[in-house]
């Protein structure tokens, strides 16, 4: 899986990037046809504590999943975003495929 990471309004350190990469690699266990993943880590300029945003775009054949989570830390935001993506990938894998080429008449 090809992973692209961008940090907005801050400079991400190596530990955060490694954590994000390892967490995204676990998504291959749920769906093996992931094409690429784009991760945007943003810091919002607000006075509240929950100002860290992780936005993950996951590209699979014929579909794109987008999850955006806002939390106190980037690790928590990435973890909750990946948990949401895991549920979506399991749903996609379990969904019956439509066979348009079969004709019943």
The CATH number assigned to the domain holding 18 equals 3.30.160.100
> Between the CA of residue 65 and those of 20, 36, 92, what are the distances in Å?
17, 11, 11
In a domain, residue 77? The reply is yes
Digit-by-digit pLDDT tens for the chain (105 residues) are 899 999 998 899 999 999 999 999 999 999 989 999 999 999 988 778 889 999 999 999 989 999 999 999 999 999 999 999 999 999 988 877 665 555 555
Q: Which domain holds residue 35?
A: 2-94
Residue 8 included in any domain: yes
Does any domain span residue 88?
yes
| Domain contains 21 | yes
In DSSP notation, 2-58 reads EEEEEEESS---HHHHHHHHHHHHGGGGT-TT--EEEEEEEE---SSS--EEEEEEE
Give me the number of domains the chain comprises. Answer: 1
pTM, 2 dp: 0.84
In a domain, 99, yes or no: no
């Amino acid at each position: 899986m090809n992973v692209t990471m961008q940090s907005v309004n801050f400079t991400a350190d190596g530990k955060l990037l490694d954590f994000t990469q390892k967490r995204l690699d676990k998504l291959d266990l749920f769906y093996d046809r992931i094409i690429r993943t784009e991760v945007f880590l943003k810091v919002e300029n607000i006075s509240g504590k929950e100002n860290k945003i992780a936005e993950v775009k996951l590209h699979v054949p014929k579909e794109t999943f987008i999850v955006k989570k806002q939390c106190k830390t980037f690790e928590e935001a990435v973890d909750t975003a990946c948990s949401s993506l895991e549920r979506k990938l399991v749903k996609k894998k379990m969904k019956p495929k439509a066979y348009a080429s079969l004709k019943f008449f």
